[in-house]
Structure 1
Amino acid sequence: MDFTVRQAGPGDIPHLCGLLSELFSLEADFTIDLEKQSRGLRLLVNDSSGSSIVLAAEKAGEVVGMCSVQKLISTSEGGPVGLLEDLVVRKDCRGKGIGRQLLAAAGDWCIQQNLLRLQLLKDKDNIAALKFYELNGWNNTNLVCMRRYPT
């Protein structure tokens, strides 16, 4: 399967929203809201500070996969790290190396940005994703994600 991984642009946002809908349909913690997802993607895609990147996997002119990386400062690492989010490949294109190439491109960006570590949050019920990350060299930690909305 011929595909390329490139930096996403504003014109990709509708296709990226479709991919996020596919991802969020698998994750109990998230609700599909195309307006919110589009707004978040616009912020990432139009970020001129260099603190994030959205990557798109394209096959025959069609976006079939994506992921994003955002910079954070880690006190434990003593410097900047990357947070990988929203790695998703369209269902009919899975198992063809696209996810692996998106991870590689995200890793390359982290190296170019001198980031010290790449981390992600995973859905504990998405067994296929858990296996995918383990097969691609990711390690579990003892950390647990929690969230609270500001009031």
Structure 2
Amino acid sequence: MRLIFEQPSRGRVFVLRRDGVIVGMINLLFTISTAEGGFVILLEDLVIHKEYQAKGYGSKLLNHAIDFAKKKNFLRITLLTDRPENVAQEFFRRHGFVESTMIPMRLWITPQQNSDQ
């Protein structure tokens, strides 16, 4: 996240507070889709503190990110969820996200600790 703070043209981090306590955050990365001919967002993280989950805070953060994307004329928001994590997938479906035919692949350039492959 430090890189985003140092280079705000590459993304945004929105933080949600309640009574001065951080309850969650959403991390957006900006990139270009050559196929679609415009700017797009990769939703990298949406995290809500365990004590505040299932109380609408995730929806509030996600809706804020969607509104931000619309105001800034981004074409789409893309995200990845873990296959077994049906709760997360259902959450995003409720907010209008649909599964893509794209299959994610990755190549680690530097050694990773605790990687999920």
Alignment TM class, shorter chain as reference? 0.7 to 0.9
**Are positions 1:94 and 2:94 aligned together?**
no
Q: Secondary structure at the match of 1:69?
A: strand
Sequence identity percentage: 36
Q: Secondary structure at the match of 1:83?
A: strand
**Are positions 1:42 and 2:2 aligned together?**
yes
1:120 shift after superposition? 0.7
Unmatched runs of 5 consecutive residues or more in structure 2: 111-117
Name the counterpart of 1:123: 82
Residue type at the aligned position of 1:127: N
Q: Going by fraction, where is strand more abundant, 1 or 2?
A: 2
Question: Normalising to structure 2: TM-score of the pair?
Answer: 0.86
Hey, what's the Cα distance between the residues in 2 that align with 1:44 and 1:73? Answer: 16
Q: Secondary structure at the match of 2:44?
A: strand
1:113 shift after superposition? 2.0
Runs of 4 or more consecutive aligned structure 1 residues displaced over 3 Å after TM superposition:
none
Corresponding residue pairs, total:
110
Q: Going by fraction, where is helix more abundant, 1 or 2?
A: 1
**Are positions 1:134 and 2:93 aligned together?**
yes
Q: Secondary structure at the match of 2:98?
A: coil
Question: Normalising to structure 1: TM-score of the pair?
Answer: 0.68
Unmatched runs of 5 consecutive residues or more in structure 1: 1-40
